[in-house]
Amino acid sequence: MSIQITSDLQENIRNFEELFSDCEDIKKRKIKVGESLGQECYIAYIEVTLSSVDFKDSAVGKLLGKLRTLPEQELTAYVKENIEDISDSQPFPTIEEAAEGMLTGDVLFFLNGYNKALKIPDKGYPGRGVYETESEKVIRGSNEGFSESIKLNTALIRKRLRSPHVKVKESFAGRRTNTNVDLVYLKDLIYPGMLEEIEKRLSEFEIDGTLDSGIIEQLTERKKYSPFPQFQTTQRPDRAAMAILEGRIVLLSDNSPVALILPATYNTFIQTSDDYYSRWEIASFTRALRYLASFLAMVFPGLYLAITNFHTQILPTDLLLSLAAARQGVPFPAMVEVILMEIAFELLREAGVRLPGANGNTIGIVGGLIIGQAAVDANIVSPIVVIVVALTALCSFAVPNEEFATAFRILKFMFIFLCGSLGFFGFLAGLLAVLIHLSHLESFGIPYLAPFVGADLNGYQDERDTFLRLPLEYLKKRPVYTREGARTRLRLYKEKEKK
């Protein structure tokens, strides 16, 4: 049952301090106000969130300074009529709502004779500023990355999209964490029903806490057992802004530097920000390279096993003799060789992520060289297997999105078992299973394989930005997940021909 805030300051203080008993980090102060200091007010805040209560430096300090110049009988009227506009504060009618407001990092203000608590914005929680993102490096373009502050992240998007049509819809997730969740979108571009669908999914669960956007991602995905993510993740504000310009929705979660973009398709996971900042020739080359890398990261070890175990006749004789000579003295079957080396490389990858600083970068390179060379010298594995496994790892690193690359790392082991047992028949069966799964997969109503399927829905315009990225003057239409009638994004105004 909610406790109403009354005009009696002492009762409000008693109720508030009972709610926050044994909370030494919550600072509470009684302050005299009024021309003759005959009236009392009460402020409460989390210790590190208030910059200063000095009159010159703080919104709270300026408010108290003003109240000390007014007669006592005018204080309540002044607060009711002016304070909400002056300090951009928010009134709360209950103790519980006021407590939630303070826990966002702002200051609570109670005044004797006023039956509401005011939340006054101040410094807020400490957090990182704007830093360079570590996971999405680009050759050309902005180096700014999202931080853990949701307000700062929305501001970074606003900085790039200076339009009143950009909307930020706020909600909360987590029964105990009460985490801010923002949906950022362009109102005139999003597809009808898209916003309602994500809001419906957010309302379908209640959890103790959402400490990162990854929890929201897992709880709102429809295909829970698919290795392929149905949200695109990014730590780059320019990538998020680019997605919003395509009619997509960006989900930001407080305390998380990772934004979720919906809907997502296979093609969007392959794209990067600098694909559109660089010339179309190099962008097309690297895009095609990433598509090839995503395929090889999944099937390369399996293809090696299928060829060497079952279909050696397709290899030139010299190459076949070379492979046979390399495997002499190796005590394990080829499939066991590949599995052992793949597990070793996955362990190195995980160790590199967990080790701090430069040690993590070193362990991946040095560890791979040492283990690979030692395994070859000890005749545990053949040199060709080390090459195959290393190339497969490079292909997975070439996929721009880490979550998307993880799907191929998992499916790689399925292809190893299928191809090592059935040869090309296993390869084709595995490829067919993946294609069937992808053809049934969708993200918020958009086919995962778009625009390779349903390309006619947008007049085959989306195909100009898939394997190859055509020159920008040919990319005049937004993708299919944009509202119909609002898909034109580029108009070229050419000079009239001289008569």
DSSP 226-285: -SS-SSEEES-HHHHHHHHHTT-EEEEETT-S-EEEES--HHHHH--GGGTTS-HHHHHH
124: confidence class by pLDDT, cuts 50, 70, 90 = confident
* Residue, of 101 and 496, whose pLDDT is higher: 101
- The helix/strand/coil state of 58 is coil
Paired strand residues for 179: 173
- The helix/strand/coil state of 117 is strand
Give me the pLDDT at residue 361, please.
Answer: 60
pTM as predicted? 0.86
State the average pLDDT for the chain. Answer: 88
CA distance linking residue 221 with residue 201, whole number of Å: 9
- Segment 466-477 mean pLDDT: 92
Q: How many CA atoms lie within 13 A of 435 on its CB side?
A: 9
119-123, 127-131, 317-321: segment of lowest average pLDDT: 127-131
Pair of tokens at residue 330? 């190796």
Give the model confidence (pLDDT) of 15-39 as tens digits: 999 999 888 889 898 999 998 888 9
Pair of tokens at residue 309? 């175990």
- Segment 424-438 mean pLDDT: 96
| Look-up of token digits 């969130």 | 49
In what helix (H) or strand (E) does residue 357 lie, and over which residues does it extend?
helix 357-377
On the question of pLDDT at 303 being above 60, the answer is: yes
Cα-based angle 205, 211, 212 (whole degrees, multiple of 5): 90
Give me the pLDDT at residue 51, please.
Answer: 64
Among candidates 143, 135, 469, 133, which has minimal Cα distance to 275?
469
* Residue, of 128 and 45, whose pLDDT is higher: 45
What are the start-end ranges of the H helices in 20-130? 59-67, 75-78, 84-87, 95-102
Among candidates 126, 148, 174, which has minimal Cα distance to 254?
148
- Segment 275-289 mean pLDDT: 94
Give me the pLDDT at residue 56, please.
Answer: 57
In what helix (H) or strand (E) does residue 433 lie, and over which residues does it extend?
helix 424-440
Dump the DSSP string for 363-428. HHHHHHHHHHHHHHHTTSS-HHHHHHHHHHHHHHHHSS-HHHHHHHHHHHHHHHHHHHHHTHHHHH
Edge-to-edge strands, sheet with 26-33: 26-33, 39-46, 107-111, 117-120, 90-92
Dump the DSSP string for 287-337. HHHHHHHHHHHHHHHHHHHHHHHT-GGGS-HHHHHHHHHHTTT--S-HHHH
Domain limits of the chain? 9-120, 150-264, 280-447
- Segment 199-211 mean pLDDT: 93
Rounded to a whole number of angstroms, the distance between the first and last alpha carbons of the chain is 81
On the question of pLDDT at 364 being above 70, the answer is: no
- Segment 375-399 mean pLDDT: 88
In what helix (H) or strand (E) does residue 166 lie, and over which residues does it extend?
strand 166-173
Pair of tokens at residue 68? 């000390």
229: confidence class by pLDDT, cuts 50, 70, 90 = very high
Give me the pLDDT at residue 498, please.
Answer: 47
